[in-house]
Structure 1
Amino acid sequence: MSIEIRPVDPHDESALRSWWEVGRSATAVRPGKPWPLWEQSRVSLPADNPERGIDLLVAADGDDVVGSGLLTRTLKDNPHTAMAFAYVEPGREREGIGRAVVGGLEAIALADGRTTIQSEAYLPPGGTAAAEHFAAALGYAVASRETIKELTLADYAARRESLVAEAGDAAGYRVVTFDTVCPDEHLVSFGRLLGMLMDEVPLGDLDLESSEWTPDRLRAAEQRQVATGRHVQTALAIAADGSVVGVSDVRVDDTDHEHAQVGITLVDPAHRGHRLGLLLKLATHDLVRSTYPSLLTVDTSNAEVNQHMNAVNEALGYRHLETLLELQKRL
């Protein structure tokens, strides 16, 4: 066997489809919806994005594509890091293909001056998987542990009335909802809150730093979402002085109105203790239910140490699907 690592041009739809097929096959054994639909990938991966650099690789055995890899690099924040993902065609494991793909991704990261590589491994609840041992063998340490959860909308509907009563009306606050594009009057304050994200979410040992979200940067990010067919159904908590003090969102692609994913949930520490997290999640889940009547499930993930948010999600009806290991390696 002679494995060749080749770059993939995301604008070459045939080559991109071969890359995508390996990832789909490699993740098919996982529960939930672990791999995006082709119609979404073919639009989002070639799209111009000044915030993110991507590199795609395939491992070829002659004419057969037997492995694939993805490297993403943030271009405005955390310039020392990159995210690497490797996939191997089922039945071709333990042939050195995954190791060759990871080596190719790490070489690209090093050439770009990245000194920390992050990745992920997915395990069944309370169990282990080959990916965990593969990562350890390549020098990737566990930096944080998360739980991936799934909510069926039918279960949410059955719980909603009691949750609304529990959340109350959060006196002194109001909730504003929108689809992807933030109202002008909240834009600056929303950016201030987003800039707190990396300082407030549990990161474990992940080597990540906070970022600044200016109005121009926010507007550009929104337009990229619109251009690639992604709707970010968002709820903001507004304090009495008009400032944005909380946010939660659920993301739905135009290509898939059956499955959605929670993006972020964040409440300013100075305004915690008012059940704003639950109130915001109720608002976004109600919004996606009314906007997408065919929606079946919503996925989310939270750090295991984030007891408060885990409790909120369990109250909503989310159930543990997988354990996510956030991995990290210093190059």
Structure 2
Amino acid sequence: MGVDIEQFNPHNQAALRAWWEVGHAATADRPGRPWPLWEQSRVALPTPNPERGLTLVAAIDGREMVGAGLVVRPLRENLHTAMAFAYVRPDRIREGIGRRLVQELEVVAAGDRRTTVQSEAYLPPGGSGTGPELFARAMGYDVASRESMKELTLADFVARRDALAASAPVPDGYRVVTFDTVCPDEHLASFGRLLGLLLAEVPLGELDLQDSEWTPERIRAAEQRQVAVGRHVLTALAIAPDGSVAGASDVRVDDNDPDHGLVGITIVDPAHRGRRLGLVLKTATHDLAVAGWPDLVSVDTSNAEVNTWMNAVNEALGYRTIETLLELQKKL
């Protein structure tokens, strides 16, 4: 087969555009917004990220790009892991291109001393045994966790808004603080403490991930990167009676994609659970999105199928499941 697998620099805009086109075509049959808009990728992919290293890979046949891949490497913690993704142009599937891309991505990961590679496969809701899952299994990837991909139409949220506020008022003694991307100084350290609990508190299944530490300096660096790429992280914090951050949630909207949002994180400190703070915070962030982005049509989120609490919160907000996400993992 006369297909070459090559790495390329994301600052090469012609190559990046061809790479983006392959991924766009490969995901076109999925519901929701499975692939970022070109302007988002054009800005974000070449911009340095203090949290993650990125390697882009292309499958080239003559003068055509027929496959695309990327390796994402955490730079702060979980240095034994990498995320790998491969896409093949729909008219070139079943030619072995996907296999060669995955093999190259694993070589890249191993070359950076990563011993665990994680990936994703998307299926119809509740599905199993489809092509992506079978391909992953053939490449040696196990299913480490199952998640539900959900979509919320903002018109549905607005219709439910008053009932949500009535069913989940802010608990006595607590207050909600909101901000766009940059956390107020007075809450920065406590917010970082809460972020450090995230991986320990969310259901990870068999995913080989370790806890993180979020210093004020790390948070500020991550915020600067979000601002640089035009991403608004619309955040709500629950402030406990003692002034500590008891919970956090956010919705993310890009300047280059003002009609679509994405939930980033939602976490409530175990010491403050049982007060419906998750629903309070998610309602607050969606209020920010509706107020600030009048053209916003929908918001996506995902959570583990076993996370019954968060599933109930999302159902109350009006989310509906559009896909099943398989979190995949392979030990090299």
Q: TM-score range by the shorter chain?
A: over 0.9
Cα shift at 1:8: 1.4
Cα shift at 1:219: 0.5
Aligned to 1:57: 57
SS of the residue aligned with 2:119? strand
**In 1, Cα distance between the equivalents of 2:79 and 2:154?**
39
Give deviations 1:232-278, integer Å, cap 9, x for gaps. Answer: 00000000110001000000000011000000000000000001000
**In 2, Cα distance between the equivalents of 1:155 and 1:78?**
38
Aligned to 2:40: 40
Aligned to 1:117: 117
User: Is the Cα contact below 8 Å between 2:50 and 2:221 reproduced in 1?
Assistant: no
Residue identity in the other structure for 1:151? L
Corresponding pairs, count: 331
**In 2, Cα distance between the equivalents of 1:157 and 1:139?**
45
Give deviations 1:28-53, integer Å, cap 9, x for gaps. Answer: 00000000011110111111123211
Give deviations 1:286-321, integer Å, cap 9, x for gaps. Answer: 010000011000000000000000001011100000
**In 2, Cα distance between the equivalents of 1:57 and 1:168?**
49
Residue identity in the other structure for 1:156? F
Cα shift at 1:172: 1.5
Cα shift at 1:58: 0.5
Q: Does residue 1:290 correspond to 2:291, yes or no?
A: yes
SS of the residue aligned with 1:220? helix
SS of the residue aligned with 1:34? coil
SS of the residue aligned with 2:93? coil
**In 1, Cα distance between the equivalents of 2:307 and 2:154?**
23
Structure 2 residues not aligned, in runs of 5+: none
Give deviations 1:203-229, integer Å, cap 9, x for gaps. Answer: 000000011100011001000000010
Residue identity in the other structure for 1:258? D
Aligned to 1:233: 234
**In 1, Cα distance between the equivalents of 2:126 and 2:40?**
32
User: Is the Cα contact below 8 Å between 2:116 and 2:331 reproduced in 1?
Assistant: yes
Aligned to 1:7: 7
**In 2, Cα distance between the equivalents of 1:88 and 1:330?**
24
Residue identity in the other structure for 1:153? L
Q: Does residue 1:160 correspond to 2:165, yes or no?
A: no
Q: How does 1:137-148 map to 2 (within 5 A)?
A: 137-148=138-149
SS of the residue aligned with 2:275? coil
Aligned to 1:131: 132
User: Is the Cα contact below 8 Å between 2:121 and 2:328 reproduced in 1?
Assistant: yes
**In 1, Cα distance between the equivalents of 2:48 and 2:296?**
29
Aligned to 2:264: 263
Q: How does 1:74-223 map to 2 (within 5 A)?
A: 74-128=74-128, 129-223=130-224
Aligned to 2:71: 71
Cα shift at 1:91: 1.5
Q: Which range moved further: 117-126 or 163-172?
A: 163-172
Give deviations 1:1-21, integer Å, cap 9, x for gaps. Answer: 311001111010001111111
Cα shift at 1:118: 0.1
Q: Percent identity?
A: 69
Residue identity in the other structure for 1:25? A
**In 2, Cα distance between the equivalents of 1:127 and 1:136?**
15
**In 2, Cα distance between the equivalents of 1:278 and 1:300?**
14
**In 2, Cα distance between the equivalents of 1:190 and 1:208?**
21
Q: How does 1:20-35 map to 2 (within 5 A)?
A: 20-35=20-35
Cα shift at 1:322: 0.1
SS of the residue aligned with 1:199? helix
**In 1, Cα distance between the equivalents of 2:273 and 2:97?**
48
Q: How does 1:264-283 map to 2 (within 5 A)?
A: 264-283=265-284
**In 2, Cα distance between the equivalents of 1:261 and 1:208?**
23
Residue identity in the other structure for 2:268? V
Residue identity in the other structure for 2:227? V
**In 2, Cα distance between the equivalents of 1:269 and 1:298?**
26
Q: CA RMSD in A?
A: 0.7
**In 2, Cα distance between the equivalents of 1:49 and 1:148?**
26
